[in-house]
Structure 1
Amino acid sequence: METNEIFKYLTTAWHELSLHKFKVALFATLFSFIILFLGMLNSTMFHSAITLYTDTQNIIKPLLGKQTEVTGIKQNRATQVRDIIYSPRQLNKVLDKIYGKNHFTDPLQKENKLTQLRQNLNITGLSGNYIKIAFSNDDADTTFRILNTVVSLFIEDSANHKRQESRNAFDFISQQVETYKRKLLLAEKNLKHFKSTHLEGTETEVDARISTLRTQIESLKIQKMESKSRISSLKKQLFSQKKFSSRDYEASIYHSRLKDLQENLSSLLLAYKDDYPEVIELRYQITDLQNSLKNVYSAKKARESLVHDFNPLYSEISSKLSNSQIEFITLNNRLNAFKVLLENAYERQKQIANNQAELSELNRDNNVTKKLYEDMLANKEKARLSMVLDIQGQGVNYKIQEPANYPTRPSGIRFLHFFLSGPIIAFILIFVLFNIKIILDTKIRFTSQLDNMRNCVVIASFQHIQSPAQKRHIQVENKLLCLYLIIALSIYIAVALAHKYHLSPTQIINWIGQLI
């Protein structure tokens, strides 16, 4: 479509609009007031925001290293901040500080206010350690006050929570230290009592004692066998001897000696004569032995009726037998005693094994309790340092990076936008509707439409000429239309001012009168 054609359509639309000027004016008025009322219903929202910085660095942490920890926060900081601020406890503090503690007498009204606060609060996490807290409300003062109150109470609550958490951790660890101290003292007391009441010695000592007893028992068994064999031999010897001796014993000795001398004499006589000195000496000895033998036999006959003499060999063997029997009994008693000692050593070994198991358990309990006690002491010191750091503000702190600006302008579509857009949108909408009507209408309005028809030639075209009466009528209508538009526009402006500045109709009339 060419530019001339577009201009023709616009001109025709304006002509049609002029023919229905009152209807168009009424429609534009109604549409403008509808837009204005929508603007009046639309609540004006003031927006303000504060940017927090989560400071997790401090000068103490690099110095202490891993010796202690300060109270930290979760990884998702925005979520944690949102959970804390949205909590009823925190929002109730905000309401109490803004409106007073006894302002909301109805629980339902208070709950609705809490819900409204949650809906108007917006908490988002920015890059790094930055968190943005925004608040929207229909009043600028309320927006600014509530936002600053929410942030200040949150920072205060966060600091108090860290201090309380550190204090609770320190108190808990202190209680655990006292508990483990009592357990350690009890374990040491039990261990000391056990060692003082069980004096059986060590397994090494008992094993050495058992080995010694076994060696001694084996040695005693051998000695006992030797003693038994000796007793048996002595008994046989004693059995072959007579208890009492006679002169036969002395005579047998003389006979034996005499026999030896006679054999020596016979040997000498083979080589020497009778006058040889040694032969003579042997003969004298033989004669003396023969005389002695005669005396023995004479004495035997004289004393046969008297008490016999005790046999010295029998006495000697009997003495040895008695000693051997005593030695055997002694060895047997010692052997039995050593066996009893060995049994006692075995029992002692079992007792030591049982005691060793119980002692190991007591030592294990004592060592575990001692280690836990030492660990808890170290944890107590760490908790104390952490508590001091949190009290002095060395832990995770929330700092206001960008404070809240007082909202001087409402955010979003304002009432002024509705006020201005009502007549403009109404005029544009009416003009568009008339153009659509012209395009869709079947009436012939342009010469170009006749040129497109067959067997039809346009000879000439003439403009519409108005008569004087029609012109006067149009002038009257235009004057009435202007009056109507002035009245409608005045009412339109008055309603807008009344809503904007909360004025009553009387105040508006007086204000218009002052302007006139």
Structure 2
Amino acid sequence: MNYGYTQASLPGPSGERLPTLTLIALARTEFRRYVLPLATIFAVVAFGFLVWGLGNPPTYKSSATVLVEDNGSIIPLADGRPAAPDDTSRAVISRDVLFGHAVMEDILRAGGWLDADPSPQEKQRLINGITARTEIQVTGSSSSGRASDPRLSLVKITYADSDPARAYAVTKRFSEALIERVLDSKARASRSTYQFIDAQVEKYQQALGEADRKLQDYRSINPDAVPGVDDDVSARIGELRRMVDNARMDLADVGAQEQQLMGQLSRESQVVTVPRSTQLNAQLAALQAERDRLRLSYTDQYPDVVRIQNQIRALQTQARGAGRDAGTPVLSGAAPSLNPLYGQLRAQLSEVRRQGAAAASRVATAQALLAEELARSRKIMGAEPDVAALTRAREVNREMYEDLLKRRESARVSMRLDAEGRSLGFQIQEPASLPLTPSGLRLTHFAAAGLLLATLLPLLLLSLLVRHDPRVRTPLQIEREAGLPVLATIPHHLTHAQYLRNARQLKLGSALFLAVPLVYALVLVLKLADIL
């Protein structure tokens, strides 16, 4: 066959690609040659995705949202209690509550799994599956559009199942079980807290009584081990020291007075001689004083006045006679007498000595008392560590006992609130609903993906075969690759056996290509009839 190219000479191999029409003709030829493998690939991929889609039934999700309000902060049981758990901690707590054995038994009953009377192994497998398909999210109240409040939290429970009715029943039971179990757990925790605090109150009450008894016993043995006695002893010691100092000063003063009086007494005579004239003058003065006294009441003729006048004249006469004898040192009739100054000094000396003895006695007494108080102070100082330890133990027990009394009362109120279900407020903000449409990948998605991939994969293999197969299929390839003109071509001739084999492969390939849409249509009909 001559294609009649007008080129006089070919310069050599050409790098140009084959025309598109030529490539399409080659692809048609190769498709006929490899129709059975391509059809097999098409059918395997399509049926594989269809089986995959049938093995993954549609998933229906049902969710419920519960609003939880923690009112426990109304009755704080302790000043330094731990902070409220965050969202992660609440999620863990919720999972522990919902996935407990008792709750999962109710879930199996609500989902109808117990109707088949499964074995314990099957129950555990079902529980593991339910747990894997259940999602719990705990968020703060701010996500619901309310003002942010740490006491508010939203618990969202989402359950996925192939049966929409069962998904709804399980989700509804999960939300109800959350409320029931949390309230029951809160009540048990409050009751346990109250019992623990009550036991601690009894313990510290006994410890406080024991501390009081020890302190009283110690004070009964040591009477000075009372608060404030050390201040009294210190004041008493200061007072006694002042008393000793004052008594010593008084004693020194009395001693000086005694020395002075003894000196004066040594210079005085005990007996003195009084002259006669002195005696007469003294008697005369006494009579004159008596006469003057009587004259105040009587006249000069009164007998007593006359008698005293006579005695005065007699004494005056004796006095004049004594005056004439003044040269003699001692008159006749003069007598010695005690010196009054000497007696006075003796009396003063006796008084001073008495005062000195009293001052010495005060010094001795004050020193004895001071020694006693110093010994008492040393005893008190020695007892202070024991008293401080006993007092500290009593105060610590008393403070703990009083604090625990307050906490026990708070725990009692909290226990009552939890028993009545008022410590936590629950509100189902979004109740569980029956899902109408499945979520995630459905059978239609698998079928469309399978048909698309089953169509593209054979075309891609055919394109690679046509473009990259090094064998020569057209005269144009020889001219372009070898740079030589093609004078004629010999068509391919098939034997009878080859012809029958190709015909059989074409029929099988066509059957496979037709079987895929037929099977897809049948599955669609069965799906619409709700058989699959």
* TM-score using structure 1 length: 0.61
Instruction: Name the SS of the counterpart of 2:100 in structure 1.
Output: helix
Greater helix share, 1 or 2? 1
* In the alignment, structure 1 residue 443 sits paired with structure 2 residue 472: yes
Alpha carbons of 1:499 and 1:123: their partners in 2 closer, same or farther (altered >3 Å)?
same
CA distance, structure 2, for counterparts of residue 451 and residue 330 of structure 1:
155
* In the alignment, structure 1 residue 158 sits paired with structure 2 residue 182: yes
Alpha carbons of 1:34 and 1:186: their partners in 2 closer, same or farther (altered >3 Å)?
closer
Alignment of 1:258-297 (within 5 A): 284-287=322-325, 293=331
- Decide whether the 8 Å contact of 2:211 with 2:394 is kept in 1: yes
Which one of the candidate residues 26, 35, 48 is aligned to 2:61?
48
Q: Report the AA paired with residue 13 of structure 1.
A: A
Instruction: Name the SS of the counterpart of 2:31 in structure 1.
Output: helix
- Decide whether the 8 Å contact of 2:138 with 2:155 is kept in 1: yes
Q: Report the AA paired with residue 323 of structure 2.
A: Q
* In the alignment, structure 1 residue 80 sits paired with structure 2 residue 90: yes
Instruction: Name the SS of the counterpart of 1:135 in structure 2.
Output: strand
CA distance, structure 2, for counterparts of residue 97 and residue 133 of structure 1:
13
- Offset of 1:164 from its aligned partner? 2.9
1:261 maps to which residue?
A: none
CA distance, structure 1, for counterparts of residue 115 and residue 480 of structure 2:
84
Alpha carbons of 1:7 and 1:148: their partners in 2 closer, same or farther (altered >3 Å)?
farther
Q: Report the AA paired with residue 90 of structure 2.
A: Q
- Decide whether the 8 Å contact of 1:47 with 1:134 is kept in 2: no
Alpha carbons of 1:384 and 1:290: their partners in 2 closer, same or farther (altered >3 Å)?
same
Which one of the candidate residues 71, 81, 93 is aligned to 2:103?
93
CA distance, structure 2, for counterparts of residue 184 and residue 101 of structure 1:
62
- Offset of 1:406 from its aligned partner? 3.7
2:294 maps to which residue?
A: none
User: What RMSD over aligned residues (CA atoms) do the two structures have, in Å?
Assistant: 6.1
2:133 maps to which residue?
A: 120
Alpha carbons of 1:176 and 1:7: their partners in 2 closer, same or farther (altered >3 Å)?
farther
- Offset of 1:85 from its aligned partner? 1.4
* In the alignment, structure 1 residue 134 sits paired with structure 2 residue 158: yes
Alignment of 1:73-472 (within 5 A): 74-85=84-95, 90-91=100-101, 93-95=103-105, 97-98=107-108, 106=120, 112-124=125-137, 128=143, 129-140=153-164, 142-177=166-201, 197-198=223-224, 209-229=236-256, 250=273, 253-254=274-275, 284-287=322-325, 293=331, 325-348=353-376, 372=400, 375-391=403-419, 393-395=421-423, 397=425, 399-407=427-435, 411-415=439-443, 417-418=445-446, 425-441=453-469, 442-445=471-474, 454=483, 456=485
Of all paired residues, the percent bearing the same amino acid is 20
CA distance, structure 2, for counterparts of residue 477 and residue 226 of structure 1:
154
Alpha carbons of 1:294 and 1:25: their partners in 2 closer, same or farther (altered >3 Å)?
closer
Note the alpha carbon deviations across 1:271-294, whole angstroms, 9 max, x for none: xxxxxxx99975643449969755
- Offset of 1:443 from its aligned partner? 3.1
CA distance, structure 1, for counterparts of residue 322 and residue 521 of structure 2:
193
- Decide whether the 8 Å contact of 2:62 with 2:435 is kept in 1: no
* In the alignment, structure 1 residue 17 sits paired with structure 2 residue 31: yes
CA distance, structure 2, for counterparts of residue 313 and residue 26 of structure 1:
165
Q: Report the AA paired with residue 77 of structure 1.
A: D
CA distance, structure 1, for counterparts of residue 356 and residue 116 of structure 2:
112
CA distance, structure 1, for counterparts of residue 348 and residue 261 of structure 2:
7
Q: Report the AA paired with residue 169 of structure 1.
A: T
CA distance, structure 2, for counterparts of residue 68 and residue 219 of structure 1:
62
- Offset of 1:94 from its aligned partner? 0.6
Alpha carbons of 1:486 and 1:431: their partners in 2 closer, same or farther (altered >3 Å)?
closer
Q: Report the AA paired with residue 94 of structure 1.
A: M
Q: Report the AA paired with residue 461 of structure 2.
A: L
CA distance, structure 2, for counterparts of residue 218 and residue 476 of structure 1:
145
* TM-score using structure 2 length: 0.60
Q: Report the AA paired with residue 443 of structure 1.
A: V
Instruction: Name the SS of the counterpart of 2:104 in structure 1.
Output: helix
Instruction: Name the SS of the counterpart of 1:443 in structure 2.
Output: coil
Q: Report the AA paired with residue 344 of structure 1.
A: E
CA distance, structure 1, for counterparts of residue 98 and residue 464 of structure 2:
58
- Offset of 1:412 from its aligned partner? 4.0
- Offset of 1:447 from its aligned partner? 6.1
CA distance, structure 2, for counterparts of residue 51 and residue 141 of structure 1:
14
Alpha carbons of 1:359 and 1:34: their partners in 2 closer, same or farther (altered >3 Å)?
closer
Aligned residues, how many? 456
User: Structure 2 regions of 5+ residues with no counterpart?
Assistant: 1-15, 144-152, 280-315
Instruction: Name the SS of the counterpart of 1:133 in structure 2.
Output: strand
Note the alpha carbon deviations across 1:373-431, whole angstroms, 9 max, x for none: 55445544544554455455555555444344445565444455555665664444333
- Offset of 1:132 from its aligned partner? 4.0
